[in-house]
Structure 1
């Protein structure tokens, strides 16, 4: 059986690839695709520009993970923030991670369905994209 998240990502990618070959305004197409994604996943699913501005992140994405094992459900939101400004991330990135988690959980209407949120700061080397560094911070959603 396919994972629900896999199907959503596949659907989203299909929509983008379908419209990427037309001469339409790509910005409007992206807005349409994001609105469709949010209508399926819940309002606030896509990270806000407020989060982007906190660390001047060049890329942002979200994935949701739920798994069930003997009377126990693990559910985590993964907020991936890419290539932020090292000065804005600062010497205490866990404080920024907590602020990003707080904003995201406030904006995402279905956040109460998840037990944890993991914020990942990913930095890639512009000269060698295979060279990456990642910092990861996990918080309990009930703490927000």
Structure 2
């Protein structure tokens, strides 16, 4: 019951807020970057390279046989098929380069994996993926 009341009050406060949604989103992004590090969220420059409709980042650290491997996963969704069709590996490298340049904690990671995800507009469950992995030290 208490959980429902909290959600109701949160929804009520957000719906009655006369805030600009764009300002609210910028505030949320700045809070995320404060916590994760400057440049954590992919830049608009990356979005423009492939006219991507969605972008996300996941950070991973795994330990196998006593060795730790850390990877940045940069997912770029529904880009321009023409931009992706020419030389996707070159586009992936350029996106990785821009992301690593902007993210202040990128040197803490060993690899960056760029994933291009394309979903079928008529069947969103049908997804194609291209994946490219680079060593951070090469940038």
Question: What residue number does 2:91 align with?
Answer: 96
Does the CA-based 8 Å contact 1:120-1:137 persist in structure 2?
Answer: yes
Structure 1 residue ranges without an equivalent (≥5) = 1-16
Question: What residue number does 1:79 align with?
Answer: 74
Q: How many residues are aligned here?
A: 129
Does the CA-based 8 Å contact 1:20-1:26 persist in structure 2?
Answer: no
Q: Kindly report structure 1 stretches of 4+ aligned residues shifted beyond 6 Å.
A: none
Question: What residue number does 1:14 align with?
Answer: none
Partners of 1:129 and 1:38 in 2: CA distance: 30
TM-score, normalised via structure 1 length? 0.83
Q: Which has the larger radius of gyration?
A: 2
Instruction: String of CA shifts for 1:21-50, please: whole Å, max 9, x gaps.
Output: 453322111111100000111100000000
1:40 equivalent in alignment to 2:35: yes
Structure 2 residue ranges without an equivalent (≥5) = 1-9
Partners of 1:37 and 1:56 in 2: CA distance: 23
Q: Give the CA RMSD over aligned residues.
A: 1.8
Question: What residue number does 1:56 align with?
Answer: 51
Helix, strand or coil at the partner of 2:86: coil
CA drift of 1:57 comes to: 0.3
Q: Which moved further from structure 2: 84-93 or 112-121?
A: 84-93
